[in-house]
Amino acid sequence: MTDLLDRRLLFVTGKGGVGKSTVTAALALLAAEQGKRVLLVEVDAKGNLPNLFEHPPVGFDPVAVAPGVFAMQLTTEASLREYLKLNLRIPMVGRIGPIAGIFDFVANAAPGVKEILTVGKVCWEVRESIEGRAPWDLVVVDAAATGHVIAQLDAPRTIRDLVQTGPIRNQTEWMMAILSDPAITALNVVTAPEEMPVNETIELVARARAETDVPLGAVVVNRVLPEPFTVADEPVFAAMADGPALDRLRQEAGPAVDTVLDAAALAVALRRARVPHLDALRAGVDLPLLYVPYLFVRDHGLRATRMVADALGAELGL
Amino acid sequence: MTGSGRPAVGLEALLASREVVVFCGSGGVGKTSTAAATALAAATQLGGRVLVVTVDPARRLADALGLDGIGNEERRVPDAVLRAGGCTPRGELWAAMLDTKASWDDLVRRHAPDEATAAQILDNRLYDNLTSRFVQSHDYIAMERLYDLHSTGAYDLIVVDTPPTRNALDFLDAPQRMADFFGGRLLRWLTAPYRLGGGRGARFVNFASKPFYQIADRLLGTQFLQDIAEFFLNFETMYSGFVGRARAVERLMQDRRTSFVVVTTLEGAPLREAEFFCSELTARGLHLGGLVLNRVMPEAFTDPAVAAAARVLTDDPTRVATALATTGVAALADPVAVARVLRTVGTSFQQLAVVATREAELRAELSRVPEAMATVPTFAEDVHDVRSLARIGECLLGAPLPSARVRADAGAGEAEHRPR
């Protein structure tokens, strides 16, 4: 799995609430720390990604948010504007507003049009980099959540099947070549050891295989809780939380020690409740699993991003 | 402010006075289980016919409620299931899942002028795309289905779990957007060249749309545009039905009988979204019922006295272990093992205390949102049965009391709206 960062294009998806953006940011940071020049792309989203580097919001033009990490916010309209400029050389500086509105309308109803503009831009950056015209060693995409990512990645094929002629159709071929090349592209899924995220991950991996040609990379299991006690330690913990031992413990540490014991019991129970979900994930997915521990931190800024990057680095053997 | 799982009066009063309560919040905060627990608590404590509409419940929860494998129809959760989970039903609990595709098909059949047009629409591959991928279609159909269920008058209370969306507000705009979409000049303008031609396919581009078609043809090809236009010409036959419904759905959202409850955890991103949501609901003149804080660490974890006790265990485990060995408890005879466990106990507390402190800080910063109406503590176990839902329900509404307000018995005569 050490070669994950040697690809050129990493998509990261996951169910809402599992830490998809944090893991995406951490992968970019890790790659940059390995000496790569990374383009970090957020697609049609709320613009939270720069927060994870404690950097103000960014726009369509890539901005350095950390050494070696350049972030950009990709929107359909900005992609369309650039597409028209680059591909059709249509002079539409003054008219882009209403035209973009109409395209937004068509794109909402017509399959794949909206997605291909954004995925197309991502693929374009990759192709330009491979051919030496853009500076990125790696493009990392904070992609759509599990429910929508298939439509996003499969857009070129959808367009090829629906649109019979025209430049958009003609461009689907090279995009599909990039998206389906295991040496270039990998779709990665972030999950958490909980029921819904695990189910969605198993379903997504199956769907990605059945419905797209996009190669799968790794599953990142986020928020893994530590196992506090070994099996041998358990009776010791049980004994000190009861009877004469508890009385003695209260004398030594104060009566508030009861709450400390409650917390430890909760930590054990939280960990135990997640074990079956981890088992289900291991049984249901035949991809490399990268474990990221639950972070007991006060906030999710650059420090947390770095901790996740370190954990991923250790898992990748870097 | 309530600490951990103490009853809050707000939600009970809200449930007793509303017909529709919509739960919203960002993904992963526990909206579905909170909505289901609220409905269960209403059915067992307040009575009446209570329906919970969920979008995508965890499989085991769906199983537990007997929802697995059913389509769009609402089903009654058997009293035996409630009793087995330790609940005594006063009223009836009903549950429904939202099947987006089936709901759309129903809508088309209802509004199409004839069966042939309905079939043409349903068979169109653009239709599949519109209903399964059009960004607002899930949101819209959820609200449309809610309107449908409400207008049957069969339920005293409908509790709704909103679909996961990138922007939790999208579903509020969905009726308006659908009305705009089908009623908009843009659609007429786009299809006009095909309409004017008399026969479909012949295209007479007028002056205004000429630049658009020049570009669109170059990008997408003429055939594709024609497919789109034909599809919309069919869809347009449903225009008045659709827009009328979208307006009615919108009115239900704004009705005083409808309330919104925002669910969040005490984490940065979900909380920011919850704050935004609260202010936006208020700005739109919608009724904000309140805020539910979910999966909150016990407040006692921030107590300095407890932290001091934990420090004794982490800093001086050997001394404490030696003391425990004198109690003669067999399991505590090995001071080395005991010291290791003591240190781990202290460390475990300290880790959770960091989370509890972060939560307390975020809670103190809550400025743009109303006081929390209920706080649900972190439970170790997953919410996958009636018993665990009931436990959440107790935190939301308080434990069942003999004096709890009871609704009039459910029955056929209950269909009309309660007076305000």
Query: CB B83: neighbour CB atoms within 10 A?
Result: 12
pLDDT band at residue B232 using 50, 70 and 90 as cut-offs: confident
Residues of B in contact with A191 (CB under 8 A): none
Average pLDDT score over residue span A185-193: 97
Domain boundaries, chain A: 4-224+285-315
At A118, list the tokens. Answer: 């954004």
**Residue-averaged pLDDT of chain A:** 89
**A4-224+285-315: CATH class:** alpha beta
Cβ within 8 Å, pair B378-A270: yes
**Residue-averaged pLDDT of chain B:** 80
At B411, list the tokens. Answer: 């029955």
What pLDDT does B378 receive? 92
B103-107 long-range contacts (CB < 8 A, ≥24 apart) are B103/B72, B103/B141, B103/B144, B103/B145, B104/B131, B104/B137, B104/B141, B106/B72, B107/B141, B107/B144, B107/B242, B107/B245
pLDDT in tens, B30-85: 888 999 999 999 999 999 999 998 877 777 778 777 766 656 788 999 999 999 99
Cβ within 8 Å of B, A 97-116: 99, 101-103, 105-106, 108-111, 113
- Of A204-213, B110-119, B174-183, B199-208, where does mean pLDDT reach its minimum? B199-208
| A175/A127 Cα distance (integer angstroms) | 9
pLDDT in tens, A247-260: 999 999 999 999 99
Residue B114 has pLDDT above 50, yes or no: yes
**Chain-centre distance of CA B386, in angstroms?**
18
At A67, list the tokens. Answer: 């050494």
DSSP A4: G
Residue A175 has pLDDT above 90, yes or no: yes
What pLDDT does B381 receive? 82
What pLDDT does B126 receive? 72
At B254, list the tokens. Answer: 């704004």
Average pLDDT score over residue span A288-298: 92
Residue B317 has pLDDT above 80, yes or no: yes
Residue B207 has pLDDT above 90, yes or no: no
Average pLDDT score over residue span B276-299: 90
Average pLDDT score over residue span B319-342: 95
What pLDDT does B1 receive? 40
The whole-angstrom distance between B1's CA and the closest CA on chain A is 21
pLDDT band at residue B358 using 50, 70 and 90 as cut-offs: very high
Non-local CB neighbours of B214 within 8 Å, separated by 6+ positions? none
Phi, psi of B295 (to 5 degrees): 55, 55
Query: CB B343: neighbour CB atoms within 10 A?
Result: 18
Query: CB A261: neighbour CB atoms within 10 A?
Result: 22
Cβ within 8 Å, pair A260-B300: no
With residues binned 3-state (H G I as helix, E B as strand, rest as coil), the percentages for chain A, rounded to 5, are 55, 15, 30
pLDDT in tens, B362-371: 988 876 667 7
| B42/B52 Cα distance (integer angstroms) | 10
Highest mean pLDDT among A109-123, A129-143, B245-259: A129-143
Q: Secondary structure of chain B in the HEC alphabet?
A: CCCCCCCCHHHHHHHHHCCEEEEECCCCCCHHHHHHHHHHHHHHHHCCEEEEEECCCCHHHHHHCCCCCCCCCCEECCHHHHHHCCCCCCCEEEEEECCHHHHHHHHHHHHCCCHHHHHHHHHCHHHHHHHHHCCCHHHHHHHHHHHHHHHCCCCCEEEEECCCCCCCCHHHHHHHHHHHHHHCHHHHHHHHHHHHCCCCCCCCCCCCCHHHHHHHHHHHCHHHHHHHHHHHHHHHCCHHHHHHHHHHHHHHHHCCCEEEEEEECCCHHHHHHHHHHHHHHHHCCCCEEEEEEEEECCHHHHCHHHHHHHHHHHHCHHHHHHHHHCCCCHHHCCHHHHHHHHHHHHHHHHHHHHHHHHHHHHHHHCCCCCCEEEEEECCCCCCCCHHHHHHHHHHHHCCCCCCCCCCCCCCHHHHCCCCC
B110-114 long-range contacts (CB < 8 A, ≥24 apart) are B110/B241, B111/B238, B111/B241, B111/B242, B111/B245, B112/B237, B112/B238, B113/B237, B113/B238
What pLDDT does B236 receive? 73
Residue A118 has pLDDT above 60, yes or no: yes
| B250/B106 Cα distance (integer angstroms) | 19
Residues of B in contact with A299 (CB under 8 A): 268, 358
Residue B403 has pLDDT above 50, yes or no: no
**Nearest alpha-carbon partner for A180 in A211, A135, A141:** A211
Residue B2 has pLDDT above 60, yes or no: no
Non-local CB neighbours of A269 within 8 Å, separated by 6+ positions? B380, B381
Return the percentage of chain A with pLDDT > 90, whole number. 67
Residue B212 has pLDDT above 60, yes or no: yes
- Any CB–CB contact under 8 A between B126 and chain A? yes
**The amino acid at A25:** A
At B305, list the tokens. Answer: 């006295």
Residues of A in contact with B305 (CB under 8 A): 254, 256
Residue A99 has pLDDT above 60, yes or no: no
Non-local CB neighbours of A271 within 8 Å, separated by 6+ positions? A225, A226, A227, A228
**Which of A147, A163, A239 is nearest residue B220 as measured by Cβ atoms?**
A163
Non-local CB neighbours of A187 within 8 Å, separated by 6+ positions? A11, A13, A143, A149, A153, A208, A212, A214, A215, A216, A217
Residue B198 has pLDDT above 70, yes or no: no
What pLDDT does A159 receive? 82
Residue B26 has pLDDT above 90, yes or no: no
Cβ within 8 Å of A, B 277-306: 298, 300-301, 303, 305-306
pLDDT band at residue B5 using 50, 70 and 90 as cut-offs: very low
What pLDDT does B412 receive? 34
Average pLDDT score over residue span B283-296: 91
Residue A97 has pLDDT above 60, yes or no: no
What pLDDT does A42 receive? 94
Distances (CA, A) of A181 to A24, A217, B328: 21, 12, 67
| A69/A57 Cα distance (integer angstroms) | 14
Residues of B in contact with A168 (CB under 8 A): 219-220
Taking a C-beta distance cutoff of 8 angstroms, is the pair A20, A190 a contact?
Answer: yes
HSE, side-chain direction, 13 A CA sphere, residue A1: 18
Is pLDDT larger for residue A175 or for residue B238?
A: A175
Cβ within 8 Å, pair A88-B215: yes
What pLDDT does A237 receive? 95
Is pLDDT larger for residue B130 or for residue A272?
A: A272
B interface mutation test: which of A150, A240, A294, A302 has the most B CBs within 10 A?
A: A240
Average pLDDT score over residue span B238-265: 87
**Which of B26, B267, B380 is nearest residue A16 as measured by Cβ atoms?**
B26
pLDDT band at residue B111 using 50, 70 and 90 as cut-offs: confident
The whole-angstrom distance between A35's CA and the closest CA on chain B is 30
What pLDDT does A101 receive? 57
Residue B252 has pLDDT above 80, yes or no: yes
Highest mean pLDDT among A40-49, A308-317, B28-37, B286-295: A308-317
- Any CB–CB contact under 8 A between A244 and chain B? yes
What pLDDT does B101 receive? 79
**Chain-centre distance of CA B382, in angstroms?**
18
Rounded to the nearest 10°, the torsion over CA A248, A253, A258, A262 is: -120
Taking a C-beta distance cutoff of 8 angstroms, is the pair B381, A273 a contact?
Answer: yes
- Any CB–CB contact under 8 A between B338 and chain A? yes
Cβ within 8 Å, pair B269-A44: no
- Helices B335-365 and A257-284 meet at what angle, rounded to 10? 90
Return the percentage of chain B with pLDDT > 90, whole number. 39
What pLDDT does A299 receive? 74
DSSP A132: T
A interface mutation test: which of B220, B294, B295, B355 has the most A CBs within 10 A?
A: B220
Place of tokens 């002629």: A165
Average pLDDT score over residue span A255-270: 95
At B41, list the tokens. Answer: 């608590």
pLDDT band at residue B167 using 50, 70 and 90 as cut-offs: low
